[in-house]
């Protein structure tokens, strides 16, 4: 089951990374939101020398700090495969321990936005909310799916969007499909 989960996640990431790397045009052309006049620019990337691309450890730290300050604790057992650790961060909340998982999810996303993550897409339905955020060469999928008392999953999965990582995801997916 875990293999299937990673294969599905990797497939989605490959499509996401490939789409981000190959599409031209403005954010509006891609279905995203372009900044409005007077809106603050994202904060300078941290976690890498000279403010360059953020590394996986910095991204994990940002997610963890935002989520724990909102009342979440990390659910154990969501390790990223060794060959993808520099390209992917997976942080799943133990949502059953949060007093109000949706409020904690919203607070986590708000904190990430204050830290320079720019929301580019959002899907908000009664049983599922998924927001895509970008920062420093990374895309973060923040999702809250299900209801308390039933199946409830709150996760934050970030992927680096470089060509090197897209290749690593494709290789990992091909290996898992064999």
Task: Give the residue with greater pLDDT, 165 vs 38.
Answer: 165
pLDDT digits (tens, 9 = 90+) for 159-175: 999 999 999 999 999 99
**pLDDT at site 49:** 33
Confidence of residue 3 (pLDDT cuts 50, 70, 90): very low
Instruction: Say which residue the tokens 């799943």 belong to.
Output: 92
**pLDDT at site 52:** 47
Q: Given strand 138-146, what is the order of strands in its sheet?
A: 88-93, 152-160, 138-146, 128-135, 118-125
CA distances from 43 to 4, 37, 47, 110, 136 (A): 36, 16, 12, 14, 9
Q: Which of 107, 159, 153, 150 is nearest to 132 (CA)?
A: 159
Q: Which of 134, 161, 25 is nearest to 142 (CA)?
A: 134
Report the predicted TM-score, pTM, of the whole model to 2 decimal places: 0.71
**pLDDT at site 23:** 36
Confidence of residue 147 (pLDDT cuts 50, 70, 90): confident
Task: Give the residue with greater pLDDT, 24 vs 88.
Answer: 88
pLDDT digits (tens, 9 = 90+) for 39-89: 333 333 344 333 446 899 999 999 999 999 999 999 988 789 899 999 999
**pLDDT at site 62:** 97
pLDDT at 12 over 50: no
pLDDT digits (tens, 9 = 90+) for 113-142: 999 999 999 999 988 999 999 998 999 999
């Amino acid at each position: 089951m875990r293999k299937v989960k990673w294969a599905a996640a990797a497939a989605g990431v490959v499509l996401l990374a490939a789409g981000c790397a190959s599409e031209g045009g403005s954010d509006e052309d891609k279905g995203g939101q372009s900044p409005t006049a007077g809106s603050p620019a994202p904060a300078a990337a941290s976690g890498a020398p000279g403010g360059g691309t953020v590394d996986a450890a910095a991204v994990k730290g940002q997610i963890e700090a935002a989520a724990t300050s909102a009342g979440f604790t990390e659910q154990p057992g969501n390790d990223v495969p060794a060959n993808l650790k520099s390209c992917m961060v997976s942080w799943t909340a133990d949502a059953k321990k949060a007093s109000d998982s949706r409020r904690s999810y919203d607070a986590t996303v708000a904190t990430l936005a204050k830290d320079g993550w720019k929301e580019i897409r959002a899907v908000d339905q009664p049983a599922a909310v998924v927001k895509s955020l970008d920062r420093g060469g990374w895309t973060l999928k923040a999702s809250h799916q299900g209801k308390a008392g039933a199946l409830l999953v709150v996760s934050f999965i970030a992927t680096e969007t470089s060509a090197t990582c897209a290749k690593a995801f494709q290789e990992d997916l091909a290996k898992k499909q064999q």
